[in-house]
C-alpha cells in the first residue's frame, strides 16, 4: 500500500469514526494539540488502526508517534 493510500484510510478513520473535522487531518497535524485526541483517545485510534489494517501495534511502538504523519509512517512500515 502506498503512503498516500494509508494516509487517506487514516483520515477516513479520524473523520468517520472519531468525528474529527476533515480539514484538520493533515500529515503535520499533532494528535493531541490539533486533533484533541487525549490518552484515552489514542487507545481508540490504535484499536481502529488494528482493525482497519489487520495488524497489531505494541505500546512501545507508539512512543515516537505524536503526529498524523508519524502514525501513517508507522502503519506503512507494518503493512
Which residues make up the interface to another protein (CB under 8 A)?
A: 18-20, 36, 40, 43-44, 47, 51
Residues classed as catalytic: 38
Specify the long-range contacts of residues 2-9, CB closer than 8 Å, at least 24 apart. Answer: 3/72, 3/73, 3/76, 6/72, 6/75, 6/76, 6/79, 7/68, 7/72, 9/52, 9/53
Minimum distance of another protein from residue 63's CB (angstroms): 18
Closest approach of another protein to the CB of residue 2, in Å:
28
Give whichever of 4 and 26 is closer to another protein, judged by the CB atom: 26
Amino acid at each position: 500500500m502506498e503512503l498516500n493510500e494509508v494516509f487517506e484510510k487514516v483520515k477516513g478513520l479520524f473523520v468517520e469514526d472519531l468525528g474529527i473535522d476533515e480539514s484538520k487531518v493533515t500529515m503535520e497535524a499533532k494528535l493531541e494539540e490539533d486533533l484533541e485526541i487525549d490518552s484515552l483517545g489514542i487507545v481508540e485510534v490504535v484499536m481502529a488502526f488494528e482493525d482497519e489494517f489487520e495488524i497489531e501495534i505494541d505500546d512501545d511502538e507508539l512512543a515516537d508517534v505524536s503526529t498524523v504523519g508519524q502514525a501513517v509512517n508507522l502503519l506503512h512500515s507494518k503493512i
